Amino acid sequence: MKYVIIGNATAAIGTVEGIRSVDKYGEIVLISSEPHFTYGRPLISYLLLGKTTEEKMNYRPLDFYETNHVTAMLGRTVTSIDKNIKAVILENGEKVSYDKLAICTGSRPFVPPMEGLDTVERQTPFMTLDDAHRLAELLGEQKDKDVLIIGAGLIGLKCAEGILHLSKSLTIVDMAPRILPNVLDEYGSSFLQRYLEDLGMKFYLSDSVARFSTPNHAIFQSGMELDFDVLVVAVGVRPNTSLAEEIGCEVNRGILVNTHSATTVPGVYAAGDCTVSHDIAADTDRILAILPNAYQQGEAAGVNMAGGDKVFDQAFPMNASGFLGLHMITAGSYDGEAFITTTENSYKKLVVRDNKLVGFILIGDVDRGGIYTSLIRDQVPLDTIDFDLIRQHPQLMAFAKAERAKKLAQPH
C-alpha cells in the first residue's frame, strides 16, 4: 500500500501517525510546498513573542520522518491530481502514484480588494513561518515601527500579541464591531479589548481601510487617516480546495468529508483546515480551522486509509487563545441559556441548550476548563450531573459516583 499525503502540518502529521498505528510498513510519501520540517503552525506568534525559538518549533522530533518511514518531499508543490492513474503531479511534471491519498492542504490568507494595497511595500500576511520571518525583518529590532494590522480575529490578535513588544505603536482595524467575533461573545470581546488596550494596542472597529496612499498611509472608511510602517493583512483565510475540486470531490467552501475523513471520491481523504466538518455544538456543518480537530481528522483519515476503522465525530470549535498573560479558553456555541459569573479579573459563561452544555467562555481563570469541554464533547445530559456544583468551578465531584469511578478507576 502506498500513501500520499499532501501537506505537512497538523492534519498531515495526524494522518502519518494514524496510518502507522495500523500499517507499519506501507510506503508514505508526504509532499509539501513549504520547505520546512513540520512545525507547529500557531507557534509563529510565539516565535515573535520570544516564547519559543525556531529550533524548538518542530512539531515532532527531528527524526520523525525516518522513524515513521516517511518520504518527505518538502518544497515541492502538487499542481494537480490524476485520479485515473492514481497519481499526483508536481510542479515539474513529476508524477507520484498513490493507492490512498490524503489532502491536508490547509488554507491560505484571504485578502479583500483594497485600493492601493499593492503600493504598500512593507506588508505581509501572517500564516506561515516564512510570513513570521518576513514580519520580523520588517519590524527590525529598534521598536521604532508603527504597525497596522487589518483583522481583529485570532490571526490578527495573535500576531499583535507576538509583535507588540517590537512595535512603536500597534493599531488594529476590523470591519466587525468587536474583536474576536468568532471566538467570544460581546462581553468577552470588550473584556479582552480593554485588557489589550491597557497594554497599548489601539483598535478601530466597525471600520476598514478604504484605500492606501503612498507612502504608507491608510485612509479609513470612517475618514480617519493613519501612517504606518508595517502592514499585516489578517482578514481571514480560505481553504485550499482546488486540487480536490478538480478531481470531483464535493466542496462547499471546504472539502466535504464524512466522519471517516473520506471525501466523496473513493480512496481520497481530506483533513484539517481545508475541510468542512460537522460542529456538534452548533449542530451545523462548517469549516473548523482549529488544530485539535485537524489532528484528529488526520488521524482518522490515516487509520481508515490503512484499513482500520476510526471515526472522528466530535468536532466543535474550541480555542485556547490567551493574550499576554490573560488566559482564555472557549469552546462550542453560545446559542442557548447563559450562566454567567464575572469578577474584576475573570469572566465565565456557560451556555446550555437542550439539557446539554453547548459552549463556554473562560477568561482569567481557566483552571480545569477541559472538564467543561468534555461535557460538550460527550454531550453529557446535565441532569445526570450536579450542574450547580460544576457551574461553580470545573470538577469531577459533579459527576455521579459510578461515572467518577469510570473516570478515575479505569484505564482510558
Which chain residues interact with another protein by CB under 8 A? 10, 14, 40-43, 46, 51-52, 56-61, 291-292, 295-296, 299, 318-322, 327, 329, 331, 366-371, 373-374, 377-378, 394-397, 401, 404-405, 407-412
Q: Which is nearer to another protein, 51 or 95 (CB)?
A: 51
For residues 53 and 50, what is the distance between their CA atoms, to the nearest angstrom?
7
| Min dist. Cβ of residue 371 to another protein (A) | 5
SS3 141: coil
Q: Which is nearer to another protein, 194 or 406 (CB)?
A: 406
Place of cell 487509520: 303
At residue 204, what is the residue type?
A: Y
First to last CA, the chain: 31
Q: Which is nearer to another protein, 216 or 319 (CB)?
A: 319
Helical (H) or strand (E) element with 379: none
The phi, psi pair for 135, rounded to 5°, reads -65, -40
For residues 240 and 373, what is the distance between their CA atoms, to the nearest angstrom?
29
| Min dist. Cβ of residue 271 to another protein (A) | 12
| Min dist. Cβ of residue 410 to another protein (A) | 7
Q: Which is nearer to another protein, 179 or 329 (CB)?
A: 329
Q: Which is nearer to another protein, 244 or 291 (CB)?
A: 291
| Min dist. Cβ of residue 375 to another protein (A) | 9
Helical (H) or strand (E) element with 347: strand 347-353
Place of cell 500576531: 159
Q: Which is nearer to another protein, 60 or 86 (CB)?
A: 60
For residues 10 and 16, what is the distance between their CA atoms, to the nearest angstrom?
10
Q: Which of 112, 223, 235 is nearest to 174 (CA)?
A: 235
Q: Which of 25, 23, 24, 28 is nearest to 13 (CA)?
A: 28
| Min dist. Cβ of residue 332 to another protein (A) | 11
Q: Which is nearer to another protein, 103 or 300 (CB)?
A: 300
| Min dist. Cβ of residue 86 to another protein (A) | 30
For residues 15 and 9, what is the distance between their CA atoms, to the nearest angstrom?
10
SS3 243: helix
| Min dist. Cβ of residue 167 to another protein (A) | 20
